[in-house]
A and B are shown apart, each in its own frame.
Chain A
Amino acid sequence: MIMNETLHTPAPLGPDEARRLQVLIDLNLLDSAPDERFDRITRLAARIFNVPTALVSLIDAERQWFKSRVGIDVPETPRSDSFCAHAIQQDDVMVVVDACADARFANNPLVLGDAGIRFYAGSPIDVGDGVRIGTLCIVDRVPREFGHAERTLLRDLAGIVANEVAALQLKATVERERRGAAALRALLEHLPDGVLLLGQDGKLVSCNPAAERLFGAPCQVLSGLAPAELLGMQPRAVARHEGNARRADGASFAADVSIAAMALDGQAFLVATVRDAAWHRAEQERVRAANARRHDFFRTASHELRTPMASILGFSELMLKREFDAATGRELIDIIHRQATRLIGLVNQMLDLARIDAGGSAQMHPAPLDLAETMDQVIAALEAPGQAARIDLAPVAGPARVTADPLRVQQALANIMANALAYSGPDSRVRVGIAPAPHEGRAGFTITVRDQGVGMTPEQRNQVQDAFWRAGSLPDVAGNGLGMTIVREIVALHCGVVDIASTPGDGTTVTLWLPLEMPAAPEARP
């Protein structure tokens, strides 16, 4: 046996062996199930040539594996013993009339062993580009002659095997493409963005379900409409167009449109993707507005801080550098004191507002409180003399208990009261009422503060909660414009409502509504 293995000659490897092996592997034929399309050819070959054995043998790296076999039980043998490994090295049919008389095969185990091969004829299976994956071969236990006609016949049969391989390959390719196309179609069907295919004539050819949803009509209807109308732009290749698209019913919606040129079977198309941009734009606008508000706030805040400083620094410098009689000096000191008081009031309110803004509802300390008692405390805390006497607090029917942050509510009420007193005549009355009242189905209490002051126009009423806005007709009022901003922030944290009703010259009524309970988890603002 040792002698046998050492003396027979394995086939040399071709120059393109690596590529040949790759093609063979890619065909997915190795170790596949028996296939009638090949079996009928081997049966036919055995019959025609009257041999016991016919094979479709595929030459793998280390073995020959039989895709189809007649007259042999093993599915594969080592490549080193393979006759076929020799056969694929030549262009035409390889014939071994008598293996015992052939130096290449005389010591081959297939010749010496039980297989007892004497005759072999194999025709390479060429799958294209000169790649020979194996052979169609016939084998006999006795030497035989193999004439020209028989060679031709074997070559033709090998050609049929090659055709069957090509057919299998084609089928696999078609299947792959079908799956790819199906995957692509599924992708388009489920893509959240609308996709529209526009033909050369500018008409809509087809679109995906998302586009039908966005534009509110099936594709057949949409194709009857002008794409320029639908897209809100003349269709042309564009990376990103932020505009307004139009639904089939004419309603316009914010849309981001991208259009790419595309060629299909030599025809030019445009592919438009459309995304509903309403949320995105609203978000952008919200951020822009918030930034603008913040910018305005800081600009105004610095203006409002500098203005009292101008009086304080200016008058004190005058007093240091010039001589004044006692009465004038006192008057100037009074101005400095008044402006310094205004300044510290402003600083405190700005800090309050910053704390409310930064802390949010997490910094709230809700506790049970009685609104009538809170209002009494607010009135008692009024500093200016004689102001408390101007207030008529209507008797409250029963306890007015809510759960809220006592300090914050007191602060909001104090600001509302301060405004009502400051913007009305020194002898006029300010009427305050507290009553249970539901709001949008929620139980709660309203606190109404009604003055008989200068009142406001509708525009002024809208502005009044803007930071630093002050009723212009009374520049002498020592307010600083942050009072109602703080009220608004505090009420929002309690999920309450603040409403201002006013007409110029006829007083202002501020109505504040608080729920019985603060919601445990305030709704997140979108």
Chain B
Amino acid sequence: MTRRILVVDDQPDLRLLIRMTLRALGEVSQAASAEAAQAALAVSVPDLLVLDVWLGEGISGLAFCRQLKDDPATRGMKIMLLSACGQQSDVAAGMAAGADHYMVKPFSPETLLDAAAGLLAG
């Protein structure tokens, strides 16, 4: 069965990087904002959501993560937060929002691939 992954990041270069990195795991789609991701999730819920924390204008990645984990329709989806905020308190806030994993930018594509594979297998 093909795994489906949704990448949410406001930076197009990073969306491309993550898509290229995770392509080996399955079908990777993308969204530039939480609002765009919400629209995509309404159609179908993927296996893994790779979510940036600071998404510019609009709802933040943390609030979006909390919202998805509180919603029975999306609760089963794995969420990996991916952020350039790398302080311990940032990671703690991410985990408190219900994330399954928190990865700090910049990251090694190989590490991202391993972490994503781990979440999809778990």
Q: Are B11 and A475 in contact (CB under 8 A)?
A: yes
- In angstroms, Cα B58 to Cα A304, docked, is 18
User: Which A residues are CB-close (under 8 A) to B32?
Assistant: 475
- In angstroms, Cα B14 to Cα A470, docked, is 18
B84 CB to closest chain A CB (Å) equals 4
User: Which B residues are CB-close (under 8 A) to A299?
Assistant: 85, 87
User: Which A residues are CB-close (under 8 A) to B106?
Assistant: 306, 309-310, 312-314
Q: Are B57 and A311 in contact (CB under 8 A)?
A: no
Q: Does B63 lie at the interface of the complex (its beta carbon under 8 Å from any beta carbon of A)?
A: no
Q: Does B108 lie at the interface of the complex (its beta carbon under 8 Å from any beta carbon of A)?
A: yes
Q: Are A314 and B107 in contact (CB under 8 A)?
A: yes
| CB-based nearest A residue for B84 | A306
User: Which B residues are CB-close (under 8 A) to A226?
Assistant: none
Q: Does A390 lie at the interface of the complex (its beta carbon under 8 Å from any beta carbon of B)?
A: no
Q: Are A303 and B110 in contact (CB under 8 A)?
A: no
Q: Are A315 and B17 in contact (CB under 8 A)?
A: yes
Within 8 A of B (CB), among A299-328: 299, 302-304, 306-307, 309-315, 317-318, 321
User: Which A residues are CB-close (under 8 A) to B83?
Assistant: 303
Q: Does A339 lie at the interface of the complex (its beta carbon under 8 Å from any beta carbon of B)?
A: yes
Q: Are A317 and B110 in contact (CB under 8 A)?
A: yes
Within 8 A of A (CB), among B1-33: 10-14, 16-17, 20-21, 32
Interface residues on A, range: 20 to 34
- In angstroms, Cα B32 to Cα A472, docked, is 11
- In angstroms, Cα B84 to Cα A468, docked, is 14
Q: Does A335 lie at the interface of the complex (its beta carbon under 8 Å from any beta carbon of B)?
A: yes
Q: Are B107 and A310 in contact (CB under 8 A)?
A: yes
The residue from B13, B56, B86 contacting A306, defined by CB atoms under 8 A apart: B86
A374 CB to closest chain B CB (Å) equals 34
- In angstroms, Cα B12 to Cα A315, docked, is 13
User: Which B residues are CB-close (under 8 A) to A318?
Assistant: 17, 20-21, 109
- In angstroms, Cα B39 to Cα A39, docked, is 114
The residue from A303, A311, A338 contacting B14, defined by CB atoms under 8 A apart: A311
User: Which A residues are CB-close (under 8 A) to B11?
Assistant: 307, 311, 475
| CB-based nearest A residue for B104 | A306
Q: Are B12 and A307 in contact (CB under 8 A)?
A: no
Within 8 A of A (CB), among B33-72: 54, 56-58
Q: Does A523 lie at the interface of the complex (its beta carbon under 8 Å from any beta carbon of B)?
A: no
- The digit string for A268-312, where 1 denotes a CB below 8 A from any CB of B, is 000000000000000000000000000000010011101101111
Q: Does A265 lie at the interface of the complex (its beta carbon under 8 Å from any beta carbon of B)?
A: no
Q: Does A440 lie at the interface of the complex (its beta carbon under 8 Å from any beta carbon of B)?
A: no
Most chain B CB atoms below 10 A, which of A310, A317, A470, A475: A310
Q: Does A476 lie at the interface of the complex (its beta carbon under 8 Å from any beta carbon of B)?
A: yes
Q: Are A476 and B12 in contact (CB under 8 A)?
A: yes
- In angstroms, Cα B54 to Cα A309, docked, is 16
Q: Are B13 and A311 in contact (CB under 8 A)?
A: yes
The residue from A303, A310, A472, A476 contacting B17, defined by CB atoms under 8 A apart: A310
User: With A314-B17, A314-B107 in contact, do A472 and B85 touch (Cβ < 8 Å)?
Assistant: no
Q: Does A200 lie at the interface of the complex (its beta carbon under 8 Å from any beta carbon of B)?
A: no
User: Which B residues are CB-close (under 8 A) to A304?
Assistant: 84
- In angstroms, Cα B11 to Cα A475, docked, is 7
Q: Are B57 and A307 in contact (CB under 8 A)?
A: no
A478 CB to closest chain B CB (Å) equals 11
A441 CB to closest chain B CB (Å) equals 40
- In angstroms, Cα B10 to Cα A473, docked, is 10
A476 CB to closest chain B CB (Å) equals 7
- In angstroms, Cα B10 to Cα A302, docked, is 17
Q: Are B12 and A475 in contact (CB under 8 A)?
A: yes
- In angstroms, Cα B88 to Cα A299, docked, is 12
- In angstroms, Cα B14 to Cα A314, docked, is 9
Q: Are B110 and A472 in contact (CB under 8 A)?
A: no
A467 CB to closest chain B CB (Å) equals 14
- In angstroms, Cα B32 to Cα A503, docked, is 24
- In angstroms, Cα B92 to Cα A128, docked, is 80
| CB-based nearest A residue for B85 | A303
User: With A306-B105, A310-B84, A475-B11 in contact, do A335 and B57 touch (Cβ < 8 Å)?
Assistant: no
- In angstroms, Cα B54 to Cα A302, docked, is 13
- The digit string for B78-113, where 1 denotes a CB below 8 A from any CB of A, is 000001111100000000000000001111111000
User: Which A residues are CB-close (under 8 A) to B109?
Assistant: 314, 317-318, 321
The residue from B17, B86, B87, B110 contacting A321, defined by CB atoms under 8 A apart: B110
Q: Are B86 and A472 in contact (CB under 8 A)?
A: no
Q: Are B21 and A314 in contact (CB under 8 A)?
A: yes
A340 CB to closest chain B CB (Å) equals 12
- In angstroms, Cα B14 to Cα A335, docked, is 10
Q: Are A303 and B10 in contact (CB under 8 A)?
A: no
Q: Are A307 and B84 in contact (CB under 8 A)?
A: yes
Q: Are A335 and B105 in contact (CB under 8 A)?
A: no
User: Which A residues are CB-close (under 8 A) to B87?
Assistant: 299
The residue from B14, B16, B57, B104 contacting A473, defined by CB atoms under 8 A apart: B57
- The digit string for A382-401, where 1 denotes a CB below 8 A from any CB of B, is 00000000000000000000
User: Which B residues are CB-close (under 8 A) to A476?
Assistant: 12
B37 CB to closest chain A CB (Å) equals 15
User: With A318-B20, A318-B21 in contact, do A475 and B13 touch (Cβ < 8 Å)?
Assistant: no
A247 CB to closest chain B CB (Å) equals 43
User: With A318-B109, A472-B56, A475-B32 in contact, do A310 and B14 touch (Cβ < 8 Å)?
Assistant: yes
Closest 8 CB pairs of A and B: A472-B57, A306-B84, A310-B105, A310-B106, A309-B106, A313-B106, A303-B84, A314-B17
6 residue pairs from A and B, CB less than 8 Å apart: A303-B84, A306-B86, A310-B17, A313-B106, A318-B17, A321-B110
Residues on B lying within 8 angstroms of A by beta carbon are: 10-14, 16-17, 20-21, 32, 54, 56-58, 83-87, 104-110
Q: Kindly list 4 other residue pairs between chains A and B, CB separation below 8 angstroms, not including A470-B56, A475-B56.
A: A311-B11, A313-B108, A314-B17, A335-B13
